[in-house]
Amino acid sequence: MTHSEVRPNGPAAQFTEVTVQHPLGLHLRKSKDVVQVANRFRAEITAQNLTRTSPVVDAKSILQLMQIQARQGHVIRICANGPDADDALVALRRLFDHRHYDLPSAS
């Protein structure tokens, strides 16, 4: 499910909130998946870690996405703004819903 938010000086942005399921959090490999999916869309896509109240970052940049330090159980708000915003959010949600429960490794 996605929501709309009216910004004072721009078109309506869609957003959705997801919980990080993976035991290692949004680690390097997982972030890579998110960034690669985000880059398939023209919409401007941002992410914010609500649990840590992180700054809002560009989800198309892995360097920025790592800065929100998302761990298992943290809630992330993903915001999309642009012609294909809806599709982008659906695709990104799927990445988080998918509980690929590979066992964690120590490193």
Partner 1 sequence: MTILQRGLPAAPGIGIGTICIYRPHDLMLETPPAEASSRGVSPRREWQRFLHAQERVDAELARLGESLNHVAADIFSVHRLILADKTLTESIRSAIQLSGFSAVSATRQVVLDMAQMFRELDDEYFAGRAADILDIGRRLLAHLGAPIGPSQLDELPPFTILLTDDLTPTDIAMLPAHNIAGIGLAYGTPTAHSSILARSLGFPLVCGLGPEILSLDRNLPAILDGYQGLLIVKPTAQQTDDYGADQARDLDRQAVALAHAHEPARTSDGTLIPVYINANTAEEVTAMRGSGADGIGLLRTEYLFQGRAEPPSVAEQQAIYGHFARQTDGRPLTVRALDAGGDKPVEYLMGPGEANPFLGLRGIRLLLANPGLLTDQFRALLLAAREQPAEMVIRFMLPMISTVGELEEARTLLEEVRGAVEQANDGAAGARVEIGVLVEVPAAALLAERLAAVTDFLSVGTNDLAQYVLASDRTNSQVAGMADPLHPAVLQLIARTAYAAKIFDVPISLCGEIGGNVKAVPLLLGLGITELSVPLPAAPLVKQAVREADLFHCRQLAESALRCSCAEDVRALLTVS
How near is the Cβ of 6 to partner 1 at its closest, in Å?
A: 28
The residue ranges that bind partner 1 (CB under 8 A) are: 23-25, 27-29, 31-32, 35-36, 51, 58, 60-64, 66-67, 69, 71-74, 103-107
How near is the Cβ of 8 to partner 1 at its closest, in Å?
A: 26
Catalytic (active site) residue 27: yes
Which residue number, 3 or 40, has a Cβ lying nearer to partner 1?
A: 40
Which one is catalytic: 27, 74, 98, 100? 27
d(CA 46, CA 76): 10
Closest Cα partner for 75 from 10, 16, 28?
Answer: 16
d(CA 46, CA 79): 5
Q: 62 phi and psi, to 5 degrees?
A: -65, -35
Which residue number, 8 or 102, has a Cβ lying nearer to partner 1?
A: 102
d(CA 22, CA 96): 8
Report, as residue numbers or ranges, the catalytic residues: 27
